[in-house]
Structure 1
Amino acid sequence: MSGTWWQSTVRQALRVRRRLVPEHLGHGWMPFYGLAYLLFLFLPLVFGFRAGALRANAGGGVLVATVASVIVFLPLYFQAYRTHGLRQVASTLAIAGLGYALQPANSFSNTYLIYACAFLPAWQAPVWVRLGTMVVLLAAYAVELHLLRYPMFILGLTVLIAGSVFFGNHFYYRDRQKQAALRLSHDEVKRLAATAERERIGRDLHDLLGHTLSLVALKSDLAARLVERDPRGAQREIEDVSRVAREALSQVRRAVTGIRAAGIAAQLASSRLLLETDGIAFDYRVDLPPLPDAHETALALALRESVTNVQRHARARRVEVRLWHEAGTVHLGVQDDGRGSDIEPGTGLAGMRERIEAVGGHLSISSRRGQGTRVDVVLPLPAPQTGADAGDRAEAAMGHVGRIW
């Protein structure tokens, strides 16, 4: 029963959070944690401060004014998160106005001014406009403190905290914009890689089917002419047509399989995005010849699994990836400077090993506590094929047809 009540409470809390701060904004619970700073408004009641001279007086007027200001503040606070443009500007300035209005009754009303400075970096305006607005707000607060004869150390403390909050949020929003740009770049890389792959497949199919279909057409015409005067010759031509068609079908299937193959270039881009978004430096060098689809897919998936494990478990600061070939083999090395640990076989590592071994390769993983982890993959390159390929056979057959004619 208690478990059901708890789950219901959690679901209700999540609904309230999504209603006040929509999920797509990506703030999570952070706006609600920020409300804890409202406790500073009640310090005059705790310590008995009196507005204007910081003398002992914890009268009920301070409590009433402070509670009323909080009631006005909460809608403005969540509106500043949910809106943008002029409405966000108005909400931010209204929060600062609350601080000015409450200052005669509560010497800790600078809390509202600090909230306002925290929202300034979210404005859709040049940075000099946002910084200038903060200077104006603090200057107005200095004038009010002077008129109320408050000690100037309050202004110094307010400037220090407001400036720290402003620049902290400024860099936070700038990092979010960079991450969004990285995601867009990642999507663009994937799109361009997919486009290039489709173009390659199209060229391969055109080259393959152009020769093959021309051969099929010529041999079919020849068989039709020979069917009456040379039935055996016609039979041979029909058999050649059947053989060439089966070979072409096999090569088309292999070419189309490349559409689903994972590319190393795209995976390197994805790995860089994943790691650098998490604050991990990524360095790589590649020196590879053109690879069969099966080999490239095996290497790309091994790289993906290795990088994902680093991001999730290694607590690394740097990752190095090397891809090279030598003596009829291709090599992949992934080295991180993370915490290292005993290797525990899991589904991901087992799947990676199976894919590598399926193309005749070898996977080795070494890890020492405190010295990082290294993943090495070695794949043998297939021996160059000898003899005529389908296109050569097609051209030879076409030459044979020419001699017949």
Structure 2
Amino acid sequence: MTTRLAEGTRAMSGSTMPVLLRWRARLVPESLGMGWAPIFLLGYLSFLFMPALLGVLGEADRMFGHQPSLWPTLLSIVVFLPLYFAAYRQTGKGRIACMLAIAALGYLLMPSNPFANTYLIYACSFASTAGGPLWQRLAWMTAMLAGLLVEVVLLRYPVFVFLVTMIVAVAVFFGNHHFLESRRKQAALKLSHDEVRRLAALAERERIGRDLHDLLGHTLSLVALKSELAGKLVERDPEAAVRELREVTRVARDALSQVRAAVTGIRTAGVASELASARLLLESDGVAFHYELAPISLPADVEAVLAMTLREAVTNIQRHARARNARARLQADGAGAVLQIDDDGRGGAIRPGNGLCGMRERLEALGGRLRVDSTPGRGTCVQAYVPLPGPAVAQPDHASQVHVPPAAA
């Protein structure tokens, strides 16, 4: 019986949630990315019923000089709700019109309900998203608060009513302004991240295209020439024709090996491009990122493993570390290369997962090793060592400089 009841509850909740999400999408556009926040913010309407509570306690006459009526408040909520949700669906002049209508509703209700300043706070919150330069939005808020001050003075309400409204309205205004600026910067960083990846992929495709063109152009010319020569020698010198055909086979196999190596390069991740992507990922999340890239020439398989290790470590920092600073460093160490990524996050016990196990297995397949040190409250350090087949070879001077990009502001 209990099992059937639990299954029925889950089925009901599973069928109810899509309906609620559809209703939410009708009220507030999903493109705003605000989720349930606009619905929860309606909880501040409860302040409109404070005069009724004070009336029950016998404090309304002493504080405001009259007993507030409840019916104008209920009627104002009926008018407010359509304006509130319409403001989220409007932009520009449409949102300004809804904002001013909400403020006017507060002015009209103020004589019968001193807590109608709640509507002015809602109006000031929409002023921050009304569009246009910041000074213009501040002017809208200042004008609405000035109107409230005049009405408070005329109605001889306590001045603290205006002061409290002003403090809350200014805080809400700049809170919304900061939220919009953060979303704008995150969108710009995402576009930059996507553009970096697109340009890196385009450059890699062009390089592979040039390599394949040079390789296949020479090889196919040689194959065509030797095949033509073998065809001429078939009748006059069969043994020479066989030698030429064997040479064609050898050249074709060599070309196939080189083509496979070139195509593998398409799938090979580069440490430099992963560092650029890591910087965009972390700094878009508020983590300052520095890196140092030593002038080491790495084999393709080693570079691919180190790049994937870097990607996994940076992803863990972004998701779990709660760090403010991170650093990556690639340097030569004797007969090998060492990649170290550390952060100043929360640290703590490390639970081996698929990502960590994959990093270790890829490094060990090349004879390398992985070391992870994590101290609670002091961050995590990931160190990957891979032996190189020969001594580290310096790259040309123009590529051997250490690159330490500035941290995000």
TM-score by length of 2: 0.87
Deviates more, 1:72-81 or 1:4-13: 4-13
Q: 2:72 aligns with which of 65, 74, 78?
A: 65
1:333 positional shift: 0.4
Partner SS, residue 34 of structure 2:
coil
Query: In structure 1, what is the equivalent of residue 115 of structure 2?
Result: 108
CA distance in 1: counterparts of 2:40 and 2:162, whole angstroms: 25
Structure 1 residues 92 and 290, CA, compared in 2 at 3 Å: closer, same or farther? Answer: farther
Identical-pair percentage: 57
1:340 positional shift: 1.8
Say yes or no: does 1:275 pair with 2:282: yes
1:14 positional shift: 2.2
Query: In structure 2, what is the equivalent of residue 344 of structure 1?
Result: 351
For 1:5-404, what aligned pairs fall within 5 Å after superposition?
5-48=12-55, 54-55=64-65, 57-58=67-68, 62-383=69-390
CA distance in 2: counterparts of 1:378 and 1:240, whole angstroms: 42
Instruction: Note if contact 2:131-2:137 (Cα within 8 Å) is conserved in structure 1.
Output: no
Partner SS, residue 72 of structure 2:
helix
The residue identity in structure 1 corresponding to 2:149 is A
1:169-192 CA-to-partner distances (Å, cap 9, x unmatched) read 111111110000000000100110
1:89 positional shift: 1.6
CA distance in 2: counterparts of 1:83 and 1:271, whole angstroms: 37
1:80-111 CA-to-partner distances (Å, cap 9, x unmatched) read 22221222221122111111111111101111
Structure 1 residues 186 and 97, CA, compared in 2 at 3 Å: closer, same or farther? Answer: same
1:357 positional shift: 2.0
The residue identity in structure 1 corresponding to 2:65 is R
The residue identity in structure 2 corresponding to 1:211 is H
Q: How many positions carry a matched residue from both structures?
A: 381
Deviates more, 1:325-334 or 1:90-99: 325-334
The residue identity in structure 2 corresponding to 1:165 is V
The residue identity in structure 1 corresponding to 2:212 is L
The residue identity in structure 2 corresponding to 1:319 is A
What is the aligned-residue RMSD (CA, Å)? 2.0
Partner SS, residue 108 of structure 1:
helix
1:261 positional shift: 2.3
CA distance in 1: counterparts of 2:22 and 2:105, whole angstroms: 29
1:328 positional shift: 4.0
Structure 1 residues 382 and 89, CA, compared in 2 at 3 Å: closer, same or farther? Answer: farther
1:145-181 CA-to-partner distances (Å, cap 9, x unmatched) read 2222222222222111111111111111111100000
The residue identity in structure 1 corresponding to 2:99 is T
Instruction: Note if contact 1:262-1:297 (Cα within 8 Å) is conserved in structure 2.
Output: yes
The residue identity in structure 2 corresponding to 1:107 is P
CA distance in 2: counterparts of 1:201 and 1:111, whole angstroms: 64
The residue identity in structure 2 corresponding to 1:47 is L
Deviates more, 1:41-50 or 1:166-175: 41-50
CA distance in 1: counterparts of 2:272 and 2:100, whole angstroms: 49
1:290 positional shift: 4.3
CA distance in 1: counterparts of 2:35 and 2:236, whole angstroms: 83
